[in-house]
Amino acid sequence: MIEWASAHGETVMTKLHSTITQLGKFRALSLQPPPPSDRGRLRDMEDFGSNPGDLRARYYIPKHLGGSNRSRHAPLVVVLHGCTQNADAYDHGSGWSQLADELGFALLFPEQRRANNPNRCFNWFAPGDSARDAGEPLSIRQMIATMVAAHPIDEARIYVTGLSAGGAMTSIMLATYPEVFAGGAIIAGLPYGAAASVPEAFARMRGEGYPDDAVLGALVRSASDHAGPWPTISVWHGDADRTVHASNAERIIAQWQAIHGRDASDVETRIADGAHQRRWRDADGRVAIEAYEVIGMGHGTPLAVSGPRACGAASPYMLDAGISSTRHIAAFWGLAEEEAAMPVDFQAGGESDPIARVRDSIAFPLRKAATQARQASGRSNVGAIIEQALRRAGIMR
């Protein structure tokens, strides 16, 4: 009994040390200056709903929106930044607004506030911010509804993507509002339902403590009363990621294989721009899931910043890997096949701003969640001590 207690104590202390080490990394990152950004491209969206997650909303409408065919509405891409980033910096690095100018789609950039999380991480590990019709997911859903009401958006072509904590929140949006999205792309992220506390979050980031893959699929099915069809999924991860272990990509893939009814053996593989790509098709032959393993890449969004298909700019967590995830994701969603777009004459601000015209006039026909957020239970005293320390350090609310 004494030997077991000693071994158990060593295990707990090892995990505590790992958590504190991870905390130190985040605190150091929070002291770094933000990367350069093109701050003139994104506009502020005001009064988009009750905003229970207290997020900021930014958006971008290119001069040509929707294609040369005036009868067609435009796709909308929702982009979620990672920790220590903001919307402007992530757009500047990823090149999404550059691609929107080329292809004619709209962009929405939900942005975390320091008051919610000092490191600007979306709170994907908090039960109140990982459920349908609550917290940050509901704020993002309200932003989407406002964009649809204010602009010629095709509701059948709404997509979401994000990096790291933004990737984890992308998983949450796809699981809790699957009827909203035609597709999603998760970069260096985690599956839905991965954690319900900060200690669990750090463990999952290390790839530890996951339930069976079948349970991960069941979490998505219980997150709403949606019965299909389901969004297509694109998963991106560097095999040298030391912040979010690459095994998390496999858990995301397995979670959505369970949803799409695909088996791991049904895979197609190839090398694409130096990355290892896998694809799984659904019963209709559509590619339902794709995954890119970027060889030698650490934690961040893979970019190609030179050459004829350059898109974005390198900066912390925006990594020149010789492959543009932005362009590949857009092609996976079919956006790259869009025609050049019709002009849009309105400008931000004043009476001509379409956002201003629809303020206070939008109904949000959002269904009640079939289940509530999974609650953390049975936390040990050590877990409580860790959480208290993290709150004092500003990592969690």
Would you state the structure tokens that stand for residue 38, as one six-digit string? 């093109």
CA distance 88 to 34: 10
- Is 111 within 8 Å of 29 (Cβ atoms)? no
**Cα distance between residue 82 and residue 187, in whole Å:** 10
Residue type, 144: I
For residues 163-177, one letter each, b for 16 or more C-beta atoms within 10 angstroms of the residue's C-beta and e for the rest, the string is bbbbbbbbbbbbbbb
Beta bridge partners of 235: 186, 291
| Dihedral (CA of 193, 198, 202, 203) sign | negative
Q: Would residue 148 be called left, alpha or beta, if left means φ above 0 and alpha means ψ between -120 and 50 degrees?
A: alpha
Is 164 in the active site? yes
The answer for residues whose C-beta is within 8 angstroms of residue 343's C-beta and 6 or more apart is 63, 64
Q: Give the C-alpha distances (Å, rounded to integers) separating 125 from 50, 192, 395.
A: 22, 10, 11
How, if at all, do strands 56-60 and 43-45 pair? antiparallel
185: phi then psi, degrees, rounded to nearest 5:
-135, 120
* Distance of alpha carbon 109 from alpha carbon 60, whole angstroms: 8
Exactly one of 37, 97, 164, 325 is catalytic; name it.
164
Which of the residues are catalytic? 164
